[in-house]
């Protein structure tokens, strides 16, 4: 019985890693060209934006919440960065024009993303709007604001220095986006495992009432989690906008689904209180490897969506089975 229990415990703990290894092995055998350095770097680059969004989503889901607006916040933040960089800011009443450097535009975009996340958290904690409803509303608001700001057209020609952030390869031929994603993961991992705020995140998700009774400011913790997620969505907007060297009003559409999928596949419980950033990274890798392998094998794009949907469903089923034990 002890051996059986250990086996189940190990399988439950490492199911994402086991699934990733099996998937890589299968595609390596049946998808010609999968095991090439160029394809590996391409997969890492493609999942970098999703990793940034998913790390923020992890913080929120650990508190027992959800955020459906990350893709729209990404688009609006990216558009703000592009607009600041391309056209600056003109204050007609003061007859004043303000230009922005690359760093200034990036800071402005991240501030916008964090502010939208803070607004989500405020609506959820102050007015007790369900996270699903509050962030669904923000999804529509931010997407509409993006189309208003851009006039429905792409903002292009942002300069080589800005484009280099998302498309350059400064060290060992590794895309800059991979380094940015790795930095985000490292900081978030330390935040969750080595700081008081991280322990509070787990406490709120594990048992919110007990967290309140122990003196934790649950509202502030949730607002901070949503604000960080908004800022990380803006970082994703930076990576995508700089890679394309343009901001489009449709950027980030559907990204919230891949983000949630990466978190759940990585073993973070939708009920909150259980999960890790590294599990989310594994989840994002699984999605990236699955997409790459299916494309190389020539699987019809519609079937790719069907397969991905079943993978997500399987991850949720495993999460519920683990929660019931």
- pLDDT tens column, 251-284: 999 999 999 999 999 989 989 999 999 999 999 9
| 109 vs 171, higher pLDDT | 109
pLDDT band at 16 (very low <50, low <70, confident <90, very high): confident
User: In the predicted model, what is the mean pLDDT of residues 230-253?
Assistant: 97
179-189: burial string, b at 16+ Cβ within 10 Å, e else = ebbeebbeebb
260 conformational bin, left if phi > 0, alpha if psi -120 to 50, beta if neither: alpha
CB 133 within 8 A of CB 245: no
Angle at 205 between CA 236 and CA 319, to 5 degrees: 80
User: In the predicted model, what is the mean pLDDT of residues 199-216?
Assistant: 96
| Model pTM score | 0.94
Q: Which two tokens stand for residue 65?
A: 């919440």
Give me the percent of the chain exceeding a pLDDT of 70.
95
**Quick count: other Cβ atoms within 10 Å of Cβ 102?**
17
| Residue 112 reports pLDDT greater than 90 | yes
| Residue 179 reports pLDDT greater than 70 | yes
Closest to 286 (Cα-Cα) out of 9, 113, 46: 46
Residue 45's pLDDT is: 95
């Amino acid at each position: 019985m002890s051996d059986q229990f250990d086996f189940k415990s190990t399988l439950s703990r490492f199911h994402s890693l086991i699934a990733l290894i099996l998937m890589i092995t299968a595609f390596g055998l049946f998808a010609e060209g999968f095991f090439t350095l160029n394809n590996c770097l391409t997969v890492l680059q493609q999942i970098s934006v999703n990793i940034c969004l998913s790390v923020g989503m992890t913080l929120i889901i650990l508190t027992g919440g959800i955020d459906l607006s990350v893709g729209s916040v990404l688009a609006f933040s990216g558009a703000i960065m592009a607009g600041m960089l391309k056209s600056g800011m003109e204050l007609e009443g003061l007859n004043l024009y303000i230009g922005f450097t690359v760093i200034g535009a990036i800071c402005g975009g991240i501030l916008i993303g964090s502010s939208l996340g803070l607004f989500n958290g405020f609506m959820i904690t102050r007015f007790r709007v369900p996270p699903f409803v509050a962030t669904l509303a923000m999804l529509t608001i931010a997407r509409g604001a993006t189309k208003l700001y851009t006039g429905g057209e792409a903002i292009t020609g942002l300069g080589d220095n800005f484009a280099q952030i998302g498309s350059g390869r400064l060290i060992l031929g590794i895309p800059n986006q991979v380094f940015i994603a790795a930095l985000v993961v490292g900081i978030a991992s330390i935040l969750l495992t080595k700081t008081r705020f991280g322990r509070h995140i787990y406490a709120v998700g594990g048992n919110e009432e007990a967290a309140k009774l122990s003196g934790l400011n649950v509202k502030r913790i949730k607002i901070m989690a949503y604000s960080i997620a908004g800022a990380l969505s803006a970082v994703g907007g930076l990576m995508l906008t700089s890679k394309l060297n343009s901001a489009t009003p449709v950027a980030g559409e559907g990204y919230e689904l891949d983000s949630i999928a990466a978190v759940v596949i990585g073993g973070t419980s939708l009920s909150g209180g259980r999960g890790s950033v590294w599990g989310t990274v594994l989840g994002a890798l699984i999605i990236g490897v699955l997409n790459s392998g299916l494309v190389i094998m020539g699987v019809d794009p519609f079937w790719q969506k069907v397969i991905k949907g079943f993978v997500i469903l399987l991850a949720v089923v495993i999460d519920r089975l683990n929660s019931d034990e």
